Amino acid sequence: MSVISEPVDATATVIAKPRRSMAWLGILPFLIFALLFLILPTLNIVIGAFQNPAGEFTLANIQKLFQPSILASYWISIKVSVASALLGCLIGFAIAAAIVLGGLPAWIRSPIMTFSGVASNFAGVPLAFAFLATLGRLGLVTVLLREWFGINIYAHGFNILSFWGLTLTYLFFQIPLMILIITPALDGLKREWREAAAILGANGFQYWTMVALPILWPALLGTFALLFANAFGAVATAYALTGSSLSIVPIVLFAQIRGDVLQDPHLGYALAFGMIVVTIIANTIYLWMRARSEKWVKS
Amino acid sequence: MAFLEISNLQKDYAGNRVVENFNLAVEQGEFISFLGPSGCGKTTVLRMVAGFETPSAGSIRIDGKDVVNLKPNQRNIGMVFQAYALFPNMTVAQNLAFGLKVAGKSKAEIESTVQEMLALIKLEELGQRYPFQLSGGQQQRVALARALAVKPKLLLLDEPLSALDAKIRVSLREEIRSIQRKLQITTIFVTHDQEEALSMSDRIVVMHKGKADQLGTPFEIYNQPKTRFVASFVGTINVLEGVVTNPQTGSFKLNGTELSLGRSLSKLKMGDSIALALRPEAASLGQVARKAGQLQGIVQDVNFLGSVIRVRVKVGESVLSLDGFNQPLVAPPKAGAQVIVSFSPEELLVLAD
Amino acid sequence: MNFWRSNRFWAWIALSFGILYFALPLIGTFEFSLRMKRGEYSLEAYRVILGDPRFQATFLYSVMMALLTIVVGVLLVVPTAYWVRLKLPRWRPVVEFITLLPLIIPAIVIVFGYIRMYNTSSALPLTGSAFGTDILMVAGYTVLALPYMYRAVDTGLRTLDITTLTEAAESLGANKITILAKIILPNVLVAILSGAFLTFAIVIGEFVFAALLNRPAFGPFMQLIGANRAYEPAALAVIAFSITWLCMGLMQLVTRLQQHTQVKQFR
């Protein structure tokens, strides 16, 4: 790539030298906006996490994150995010595979993709209402299961205001997001790869584990990271669903911003900083694994 | 019994018969080409042999065993695809090892076979490269080696050269043929390129509309085409329309001149019209003593192709192509010149419709 | 073949499972929203909600916010994407990275940053007035929409291959304004519109920004109803879902219209 692009760049610098400072200006509004409303506010929180109320540098706020109640919040947050991302990936993949490879009628694809677009954007407060109306104590499914099948899911320990309830609710936007992203990737699997594997003696399982999944792996990983961040930062659904009965990190942070429930503003910054750290770790793992598994892709 | 026997093969797609009554017997070690335009059914036959398509009727036997009900991965066949189909996530060496790995071969055996295959295609240094780092020609050689690594009984090549540049195409077809000779592997080669088929094959099946029009050696296909389609698809032909005057002696009238094929036309009777094919290289410019057939015409254009010069001459309503060797001391005729086209009537091919 | 039959069998299983999972909450919500009057199905919950003056006020406010966000987003994204493609290809990774940041940094962290950075004792005390807070709201929503908006427009520009098109048109004697107006804009318009509908769908029910910046938007209103009422929330969910569906439907519609015109052009 460098071989081809170098001469082009060279001529570009020669010709465009006087105009270069002008070209810069074209994206200045964008850069200023990003700085003011995205980057600086975030940095502000990060800095706040390392300051005491007097504005001096300290690690005390970060240390306070390791108290059991806050660690527990992170733990349940990460659990919900991983569970909903993992299940979202698996189920979304199964449905996408059914559409692309399952030999279903072709007309079925378009409505599913449209619906996925809708459902992946149907998050927040109304989604919580929908699941309360379905799986809450008086919800349709709860009532039907009790009246038709005699199964009282609440007696069996299910609660919509719990880890599994939240995970089940998040899946409503996680699965469609996965379908939207992975369907094009599945389309990209060439028929010849499957046929070449078959004629070389591989069975379906071997084709999937040795060829198809390794090829899809970067896309799967990327979607998983995205779904994880999607669930990890979600506030509205959880808040409207559980109020503050399930203390996942975003809910604790929400309550802290509203009323300083931690009675320590700088601990709030540390809490937010922790959220950034988790999403950055998730994305770094993703980028690292993608780089490892994508050596074979044209640079 | 032949090594590969295809009998009465038939394939229907949604009411369309794309392959009809296809029969073929291939001997061990033979190189057979399926030649025909796109949509003639040649690839469908190949895919039925490979097991990717199920025949609607008929049988396919490899080495005496009916394979119609076997899955592709149970047939022990090697196949090379038009679009390389190398696994992009694996290095060259891993691609070559794939078939051996799924067959559960030992590490040592895999390693030695991979080296052997790399040597066979002369890419010893590129074992650790990924497919995207190779040229099209290199990729196709790897694909060939990958197919051969599992020591298949039968090698299927599905237009393996058509995605490549002209120069690489020629060198690779020689390489494929020499590897095939070295390994003595029975091979079916599908192509729409008559030059490839003529230069590589032991025998050629010319296919047209789902049927095998003719089966024969390249020499037979070119010089004794049985149908008008075969004659026109393989090489260039000029078609002359004559009228039979005496079926027993093979005499006919062409542009008012009475000529003789020198062989009887048993199936025709006097007064029948007859289509006769003339290869461009069988006709000459000017009068030639041994050539009784003569036609008057005007040079339309002259194409200098290097060793060969193709002259197109307008004779009556039709245009004839003539190929002559380049002679450094003789300038070719100019457009508009009055010329005589001469040919031996014995060399004319009678075309059935 | 047996192989295919079993494959298709599993495909149907996966699909049925999916349909069940996605249909039940929708049916459940709709059924629940009709149950307000005892013993009969009625639209009572909808009547109550739609008649609520707070519904009208917050909904209108959120619509205004969404429209403003779309305008700001378009003004910010379109020139930037065009300029980066045409003149600053080396900046592309940087700009793309920035546009993807909102997918990584949780929205609640960003709004927390606003509250800390623009508080009443800061140099730019935007949170001090309703107008200033509204500016923060629009800015925040623009940040949320950035990944979708930028990608939509950038993809639209890529399919156009603007560099070649610009050069080709210039070599035919067209000036830059003609190129922008006649070639670039009509095609990017579709990308802008689809980005706009998506933005609308995101902003209309947004909760975190509005709740923490304390503005009277539709999201917090829904939450408030949810905390105090039984049947109206279900009606609200149905309304919100319909709006999302409408936005996505319009998005598909414009995309399809564009494909249609493109085919026509090629003919």
The tokens for A113 are 């993709």
Of B73, B88, B150, the CB nearest to A296: B88
Chain A: list its partners (3+ Cβ pairs within 8 Å).
B, C
Residues 6+ apart with CB under 8 A from A105: none
Poorest-confidence range of A42-56, B166-180, B208-222, C186-200?
A: C186-200
Determine contact: C226 vs chain A, CB below 8 A: yes
Q: Which position has the token pair 């979304």? A: A92
Residues of chain A numbered 167-226 and touching chain C (CB < 8 Å): 171-172, 175-176, 204, 226
- Confidence (pLDDT) at B59: 92
Q: How far apart are CA B43 and CA B159, in angstroms?
A: 9
C164 CB burial (10 A radius; 0-12, 13-18, 19+)? exposed
Cβ pair A296:B103 closer than 8 A: no
- For residues A209-240, one letter each, b for 16 or more C-beta atoms within 10 angstroms of the residue's C-beta and e for the rest, the string is ebbbebbbbbbbbbbbbbbbbbbbbbbbbbbb
Residues of chain C numbered 181-210 and touching chain A (CB < 8 Å): 198, 201-202, 205-208
Determine contact: C84 vs chain A, CB below 8 A: yes
Determine contact: A131 vs chain C, CB below 8 A: yes
The pair phi, psi for residue B271, each rounded to 5°, is: 90, -15
Q: Are A133 and A140 in contact (CB under 8 A)?
A: yes
pLDDT at residue A161 tops 70: yes
A290 CB burial (10 A radius; 0-12, 13-18, 19+)? middle
**What amino acid is encoded at C263 in this protein?**
V
The tokens for A266 are 């700088």
Identify each DSSP E strand in chain C by its residue range: none
Determine contact: B160 vs chain A, CB below 8 A: no
Residues 6+ apart with CB under 8 A from A165: A131, A135, A158, A159, A241, A242
In chain C, residues with a C-beta closer than 8 Å to the C-beta of A182 are: none
Cβ pair A200:B87 closer than 8 A: no
In chain A, residues with a C-beta closer than 8 Å to the C-beta of C12 are: 98, 102, 104
Q: Are A248 and A73 in contact (CB under 8 A)?
A: yes
- Mutate which: B43, B95, B102, vs A, most A CBs within 10 A: B102
Q: How far apart are CA A76 and CA A88, in angstroms?
A: 17
Across the A/C interface, how many CB contacts are shorter than 8 Å?
A: 259
Cβ pair B78:A196 closer than 8 A: no
DSSP 3-state of C262: helix
Q: How far is CA A289 from CA A85, A285, A286, B3, B221, in A?
A: 17, 6, 5, 49, 57
In chain A, residues with a C-beta closer than 8 Å to the C-beta of B103 are: 201
Determine contact: A205 vs chain B, CB below 8 A: no
Q: Are B121 and B135 in contact (CB under 8 A)?
A: no
- Confidence (pLDDT) at A10: 39
The tokens for C185 are 């804009």
Minimum distance, in Å, between the CA of residue A106 and any CA atom of chain B: 16
Average pLDDT, chain B: 89
Minimum distance, in Å, between the CA of residue C239 and any CA atom of chain A: 9
Q: Which position has the token pair 């199920």? A: B54
Among chain A residues, CA nearest to B128: A296
Determine contact: A3 vs chain B, CB below 8 A: no
Determine contact: C152 vs chain A, CB below 8 A: no
Q: How far apart are CA B257 and CA B294, in angstroms?
A: 8
Determine contact: B218 vs chain A, CB below 8 A: no
Q: Stretch B76-81: mean pLDDT, rounded?
A: 93
Of A42, A91, A175, the CB nearest to C105: A42
Among chain A residues, CA nearest to C32: A133
Q: How far apart are CA B253 and CA B258, in angstroms?
A: 4
Among chain C residues, CA nearest to A27: C80
Among chain A residues, CA nearest to B158: A192
For chain B, helix (H) and strand (E) counts, in that order, are 8, 20
Q: How far apart are CA A227 and CA A234, in angstroms?
A: 11
pLDDT at residue C263 tops 60: no
Residue from B46, B64, B63 nearest B55 by CA: B46
Residue from C76, C52, C67 nearest C236 by CA: C52
Please report which confidence band the pLDDT of residue A5 belongs to, taking 50, 70 and 90 as the band edges: very low
Poorest-confidence range of B120-124, B177-181, B227-231?
A: B227-231
pLDDT in tens, A84-110: 999 999 999 999 998 888 778 888 888
Residues of chain A numbered 207-266 and touching chain B (CB < 8 Å): 210-211, 214-215
- Mutate which: A192, A194, A199, vs B, most B CBs within 10 A: A199
Minimum distance, in Å, between the CA of residue C267 and any CA atom of chain A: 25
Determine contact: B262 vs chain A, CB below 8 A: no
Cβ pair C108:A42 closer than 8 A: no
- What does DSSP assign to residue B131? G
Sheet holding B238-246, edge to edge: B257-260, B251-254, B238-246, B273-278, B349-350
Determine contact: A299 vs chain B, CB below 8 A: no
Choose from A70-74, A256-260, B14-18, C186-190 the range with maximum mean pLDDT.
A70-74
In chain B, residues with a C-beta closer than 8 Å to the C-beta of A201 are: 73, 76, 99, 102-103, 150
Determine contact: C34 vs chain A, CB below 8 A: no
pLDDT at residue C38 tops 80: yes
Choose from A52-56, A286-290, C24-28, C165-169 the range with maximum mean pLDDT.
C24-28
Q: Stretch C111-133: mean pLDDT, rounded?
A: 89
DSSP 3-state of A18: coil
Q: How far apart are CA B37 and CA B32, in angstroms?
A: 17
Determine contact: A200 vs chain B, CB below 8 A: yes
Cβ pair A192:B85 closer than 8 A: yes
Q: Stretch B160-174: mean pLDDT, rounded?
A: 89
- Confidence (pLDDT) at A13: 42
Cβ pair A215:B88 closer than 8 A: yes
Determine contact: B181 vs chain A, CB below 8 A: no
Q: Are B130 and B139 in contact (CB under 8 A)?
A: no
Determine contact: A298 vs chain B, CB below 8 A: yes
Cβ pair C112:A126 closer than 8 A: no
Determine contact: B77 vs chain A, CB below 8 A: yes
Cβ pair A108:C4 closer than 8 A: no
Chain C: list its partners (3+ Cβ pairs within 8 Å).
A
Q: How far apart are CA A277 and CA A254, in angstroms?
A: 18
Determine contact: A82 vs chain B, CB below 8 A: no
In chain A, residues with a C-beta closer than 8 Å to the C-beta of B79 are: 195-196, 199
- For residues A247-274, one letter each, b for 16 or more C-beta atoms within 10 angstroms of the residue's C-beta and e for the rest, the string is bbbbbbbbbbbeeeebebebbbbbbbbb
Minimum distance, in Å, between the CA of residue B200 and any CA atom of chain A: 24
Q: How far apart are CA B266 and CA B247, in angstroms?
A: 6
Q: How far is CA C258 from CA A110, A113, C245, C253, in A?
A: 17, 18, 20, 9
- Mutate which: C34, C75, C105, vs A, most A CBs within 10 A: C105
Q: Are A1 and A299 in contact (CB under 8 A)?
A: yes
The tokens for C8 are 């298709």
β-bridge pairing B4-13 and B57-62? antiparallel
Regarding predicted confidence, which is higher, B260 or B205? B205
pLDDT at residue A246 tops 50: yes
Minimum distance, in Å, between the CA of residue C186 and any CA atom of chain A: 22
Its ipTM equals 0.86
The tokens for A52 are 């005491």
Q: State the sign of the Cα–Cα–Cα–Cα dihedral A42, A46, A51, A52.
A: positive
- Torsion of Cα atoms, C205 then C211 then C213 then C218, to 10°: 30
- What does DSSP assign to residue B181? H
Q: Are B284 and B330 in contact (CB under 8 A)?
A: no
Of A122, A134, A140, the CB nearest to C244: A122
Cβ pair C205:A125 closer than 8 A: yes
Cβ pair A41:C116 closer than 8 A: yes
Residue from A178, A145, A173, A167 nearest A242 by CA: A167
The tokens for C254 are 């414009």
pLDDT in tens, B42-68: 999 999 999 999 999 999 999 988 999
- Confidence (pLDDT) at C180: 65
- What does DSSP assign to residue C219? H
Please report which confidence band the pLDDT of residue A284 belongs to, taking 50, 70 and 90 as the band edges: confident
- Confidence (pLDDT) at A83: 96
Chain B: list its partners (3+ Cβ pairs within 8 Å).
A
Q: How far apart are CA C65 and CA C204, in angstroms?
A: 8
**What amino acid is encoded at A206 in this protein?**
Q
Q: Are C26 and A130 in contact (CB under 8 A)?
A: yes
pLDDT in tens, A179-188: 998 998 898 8
pLDDT at residue A71 tops 50: yes
- Confidence (pLDDT) at C6: 66
